[in-house]
Amino acid sequence: MDTLLLVSSTLLPIITIIIFHHFFTGKTAIPGSYGWPIIGESIDYFKKLRSGTNERFAMQRRKLFGDVFKTSILGEKMAFLCGPEGNKFLFSNENKLVEVWWPSSVESIIKKSNNKSVTAESAKVRQLLPPFLRAHAVKNYISDMDSELRQHLEDYWTGRDQVEVCPFVAKYTFALAVKLLLGVRDGTELEKLAKPFVDAAGGIIAVPINIPGTRFNRGVKASKRIREVINGIIAQRRKDLADGTADPSQNLLSHMIVEVDKRNQDTTNAPTTDGDMSSDLLGLLIGGYDTINTTVVFIMMMLVDYPDVYQEVLKEQTAIAKEKSTGELLTWDDLRKMKYSWNVACEVLRMRPPTVGAFRVAKTDFTYGGYTIPKGWKLHYLPHYTQRNHEFFPHPEKFDPTRFEGAGPAPYTFVPFGGGARMCPGNEYARAEILVFMYNIITRYNWQRLIPDEKVVIDPLPRPVHGLPIKLIPHKTQA
């Protein structure tokens, strides 16, 4: 009896404090698990990433811990704020409570001079982009996109009975990005950039183990080779700008050189080197290539699997083609008419998000959902969580472009391009290139899969394991 009284008298004050703290000061300890020492829960995270079920990582933990939970990925303490409310909070508090953060793998691939942080420098890069990637600027790229694609089809598709979609699409999207961003058309320069590009892109979200043979090690070596090529292009462009044979408004690289030189006159800040610019441009190439390439490939895959959707897209695109004279290139107004086609593209983006999401870091302690997120903690949002969730998209496994008719999905549930201040600056560019591709392919061809049950792998982004080989069926009349 004395023992029971002693235990009771010891525990009662502790229990009282816990109850008072819970009901009157709010919950502060974030539920969840850090997993194993050092590696945390990285193995499970990457396992689900590779299997294309990223959303399950969050769904399983949300079921156990609620809408806010802690974990440890890539050696970082990390919080997930689940659902559209979490997305809205992160997007609306950019540069207030949170700011962009990248894993060390990104810092190593997109390497800066003098140990500058890619995270800290990204805001400067974004300031240079609006003149070239906003809607008013993208309007001027439509004819270039269209003529480039027509030439690509003539060179690599016309006269063929069969093509492997993945490498052909990759070749076009990469060549167009290099042309519009860097102003490079020379085939030799393109080849120098293209060969190591896939390895560099793959290293971005690899486990940062830098030993020979690893994906990360290959990515680091490839990025170095690409930066050396871009450095040479920058040096030549400087000469062209100096002698008047290049125009600063022609492409992003020329614009960057002029603006960076102006900024470097301010000696209070560390100067931006040509090496820094080459890293910035590499990052932009990777970002644009991944989104567009992945989306276009899966549009072609889905249109085979859903012939009724293909027929609706064909009907819309044929109506546009009939209004144009032979050889007339597409315009911005033409793209605005492609409403159903864009709904199809959005449904592909919903089902197959082309990125793993994004990361943020807490700039200060803040409270969300009754929990305190400590300064320095990382936060991660997955577009997969809301976009493949039956709570927000009924029957999420069903391909249904009509979800995007009218008002479309609820706010902050469809977030393939992020949102708020960190909305992907290239979203209009991506939209234009995707629609130009759909118009040109669909007004020329129908197609059939040569491997009907071809599997999809995540390596590191989703792709058909055999590259989506198809049989081309040309229309009797072409646009």
Side-chain half-sphere exposure of 342, counting CA atoms within 13 A: 16
Banded pLDDT at 30 (limits 50, 70, 90): very high
What confidence score (pLDDT) does residue 117 get?
A: 61
User: CB under 8 Å to 41, separation ≥6 — which residues?
Assistant: 33, 34, 35, 71, 72, 73
Out of 21-30, 126-135, 203-212, 384-393, pick the least confident: 21-30
Using CA atoms, how far residue 108 sits from 116, 269, 349, 380, 472, in Å, is 11, 23, 28, 20, 41
Does residue 460 have a cis peptide bond before it, meaning omega lies within 30 degrees of 0? Answer: yes
Q: In this structure, how many other beta carbons lie within 10 angstroms of the beta carbon of residue 193?
A: 22
Question: What mean pLDDT is predicted for residues 274-298?
Answer: 84
What confidence score (pLDDT) does residue 106 get?
A: 81
On the question of pLDDT at 130 being above 70, the answer is no
Out of 194-198, 315-319, 410-414, pick the least confident: 194-198
Question: What mean pLDDT is predicted for residues 262-271?
Answer: 78
Give per-residue pLDDT as tens, 73-125. 988 999 999 999 999 999 999 889 998 888 888 878 877 665 556 555 555 66
Mean pLDDT value across the chain = 85
For residues 13 and 19, what is the distance between their CA atoms, to the nearest angstrom? Answer: 10
Handedness of CA 94, 53, 395, 288 (dihedral sign): positive
Look at residues 391, 384, 381 and name the one whose alpha carbon lies nearest to residue 51: 384
CA dihedral 361, 367, 373, 375 (to 10 degrees): 60
Q: Which one has a higher pLDDT value, 477 or 102?
A: 102
For residues 311 and 142, what is the distance between their CA atoms, to the nearest angstrom? Answer: 24
pTM: 0.86
Q: What is the DSSP string of 255-284?
A: HHHHHHHHHHT-TTSPPPPHHHHHHHHHHH
Q: What percent of the chain is predicted at pLDDT more than 70?
A: 86
On the question of pLDDT at 183 being above 70, the answer is yes
- How far the first Cα of the chain sits from its last, in Å, is 93
Out of 1-10, 144-153, 274-283, pick the least confident: 1-10
Residue 424 known to bind ligand: yes
Kindly state the DSSP code that residue 36 receives in the 8-state scheme.
B
Contact call for residues 456 and 464 (beta carbons, < 8 A): yes
- Per DSSP, the chain holds a count of helices (H) and strands (E) of 19, 12
Q: Estimate the share of the chain in helix, then strand, then coil, as percent rounded to the nearest 5.
A: 55, 10, 30
Q: Which helix (H) or strand (E) holds 44?
A: helix 42-51
What are the tokens at 388?
Answer: 């493949």
What are the tokens at 75?
Answer: 């050696």
What confidence score (pLDDT) does residue 4 get?
A: 39
What's the 3-state SS for 48-112? HHHHCCHHHHHHHHHHHHCCEEEEEECCEEEEEECHHHHHHHHHHCECCCEEEECCHHHHHHCCC
Handedness of CA 324, 134, 359, 205 (dihedral sign): positive
Residue 169 amino acid letter: V
What confidence score (pLDDT) does residue 120 get?
A: 57
Give per-residue pLDDT as tens, 399-458. 999 999 998 999 999 998 877 655 565 778 889 999 999 999 999 999 999 999 998 887
